[in-house]
């Protein structure tokens, strides 16, 4: 095998609770990740030219060692003896800095793809050990599960069985929110305590009604006061037929949950007339 193409899905957080700040500066969370059918695409190709060459279709996304894909390639290729070269083409569709996990998913795809392309023989556990040094969301994207609960800093995963069809509209308001800022502001302005924190998450989701009971994101307490347009987008999604709407991750993307594709299709047309952000429609991914 000289090359391969691999897709990297986005995610939304159906629930996100910040439990506490740890002595090492990281925050423990309790969340439910859901992969969705919005994808970046990586093309990996062996090269006779030594080293890593990364090209990105979006000039706003770096193609140097600050990109998680580049760092993932560096991590794995240290395990390969001799002279090697790899060309990586990253086609971005997931907006960056949007709370959709695009960078983490790209890194996971790079780890998986390079392991296959160079026949490195690394197990899923091995890859996830590498992944945690790249970002707390990366182990989830390596997992085969489309839906999972996560504890710790996001690396302690458990499969959640999703037994209902979900459709999403994601609105990216074309500005980014720093995850570091969101955590720091939450730590400063909101009392972090385990009291009144119910961190027990379900191991199965049976229907849309259960999804709606889960929708919660602690980051909204600091993000919406700073960016009131987030609340306006949520209102627009509900008016367009969403059963619920929530900030994803630390933002800035907002997603609406819809009961079927038909309602979703109609809502996209309506929202395109009233909102100025980027609008994506995507199904929730299901276990194959």
Annotated catalytic residues are 11, 137
Residue 167 neighbours by CB distance under 10 Å? 24
Nearest to 250 by CA among 282, 208, 279, 221: 221
SS (H, E, C) 218-238: CCHHHHHHHCCHHHHHHHHHH
> 139: number of CA atoms within 13 Å, CB side?
20
Sequence-ordered list of residues with C-beta below 8 angstroms from that of 66, at least 6 positions apart, any chain = none
Long-range contacts formed by 232-235: CB under 8 A, 24+ apart: 233/171, 233/173, 233/275, 233/277
Nearest to 142 by CA among 53, 76, 211: 76
In order of 103, 127, 250, the CA distances from 97 in angstroms are 9, 24, 9
- Return the SS3 of 89: strand
| CA–CA dist 153, 148 (Å, integer) | 14
- Return the SS3 of 212: helix
Block residue for tokens 């009291």: 195
Block residue for tokens 């890194």: 107
| CA–CA dist 23, 174 (Å, integer) | 34
Instruction: Answer yes or no: are the C-beta atoms of 23 and 61 closer than 8 Å.
Output: no
């Amino acid at each position: 095998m000289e090359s391969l193409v691999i897709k990297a899905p986005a995610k939304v957080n159906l629930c996100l609770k910040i439990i506490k700040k740890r002595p090492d500066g990281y925050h423990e969370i309790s969340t439910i990740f859901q992969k969705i059918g919005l994808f970046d695409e990586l093309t990996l190709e062996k090269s006779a030219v030594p080293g890593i060459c990364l090209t990105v279709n979006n000039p706003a996304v770096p193609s140097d060692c600050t990109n998680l894909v580049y760092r993932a390639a560096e991590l794995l290729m240290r395990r390969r003896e001799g002279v090697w070269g790899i060309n990586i083409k990253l086609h971005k569709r997931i907006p960056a800095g949007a709370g959709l996990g695009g960078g983490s998913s790209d890194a996971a795809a790079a780890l998986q793809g390079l392991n296959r392309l160079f026949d490195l023989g690394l197990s899923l556990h091995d890859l996830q050990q590498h992944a945690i040094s790249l970002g707390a969301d990366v182990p989830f994207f390596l997992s085969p599960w489309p839906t999972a609960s996560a504890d710790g800093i996001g690396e302690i995963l458990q499969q959640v069985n999703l037994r209902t069809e979900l459709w999403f509209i994601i609105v990216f308001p074309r500005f980014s929110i720093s995850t570091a800022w969101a955590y720091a502001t939450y730590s400063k302005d909101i009392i972090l305590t385990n009291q009144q924190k119910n961190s027990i998450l379900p191991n199965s989701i049976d229907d849309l009604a259960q999804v709606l009971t889960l929708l919660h994101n602690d980051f909204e307490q600091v993000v919406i006061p700073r960016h009131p347009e987030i609340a306006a987008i949520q209102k627009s999604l509900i008016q367009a037929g969403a059963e619920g709407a929530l900030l994803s991750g630390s933002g800035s993307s907002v997603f609406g949950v819809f009961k079927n594709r038909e309602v979703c299709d109609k809502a996209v047309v309506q929202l395109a007339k009233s909102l100025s952000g980027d609008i994506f429609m995507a199904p929730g991914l299901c276990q194959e």
